[in-house]
Amino acid sequence: MFKKIFGKGHKEEAVKEETVFSPADGKVISLSEVPDPVFSQKMMGDGIAIEPANGEIVSPVNGEVIQLFHTKHAIGIRSLSGIEMLIHIGLDTVSMEGEGFTAHVKEGDKVKVGDPLITCDLQLIKEKASSTITPIVIMNGDVLERIQKYEDGEAEKSQTKLLELVVK
C-alpha cells in the first residue's frame, strides 16, 4: 500500500565508511612485523595484527560470518560495506586441528561489534604453534579507496579502532 502511494520506497544507501575494531585485548602490531611472510608481505591482503592478551576473539565489525574454518583457527566476516576480512588466530595453528578452539558462531550468522566469535586456549597455542599473533586481513582490498591504520599501543576488544576503511 505505501509503495503505491510513495513509489517503490527508498533504496538503502550502501555503507561507504567503516571502522574495524580490535577483535581481542592485546598489543597492536603492524602486519609487516608478523613473523610469517604470507601475512607480513601482504600476500593475502593488507591489514593489521594483535598479540592477544587472552583467548576471547570478538567480531570487529557488524556483518556476517562467511567462513568458519573446520579447525576453528580462522574466521571470515563480510562487513556491511562489503569488506571481507579474515581473522587468523595465531600462526601455524591449522596444525592444531581445532584443539583448544571453541566457535560461538557458524557460517551465515549475523554479528555485531563485540559479539563472541571464538574462544581459544592461548597457553596451548604457545605450546603447539609458532605464535599467538592474530592477523586481521582485508581479503578484497581492491574495493578500498582508503585504509587508515592505528598500529600503536594496546587494544581493548570491541573498543579500540584498528582500521578505518573507505570503499570505492
List residues with catalytic annotation.
Answer: 88
- Beta-carbon contacts of 67 under 8 Å, excluding residues fewer than 6 positions away, are 74, 75, 76, 107
Long-range pairs for 81-84 at CB < 8 Å and ≥24 separation? Answer: 81/14, 81/15, 81/16, 81/17, 81/18, 81/165, 81/167, 82/14, 82/140, 82/143, 82/167, 83/18, 83/20, 83/138, 83/140, 83/143, 83/144, 83/165, 83/167, 84/138, 84/139, 84/140
- DSSP-based three-state secondary structure for 129: coil
CA dihedral 124, 129, 134, 136 (to 10 degrees): -130
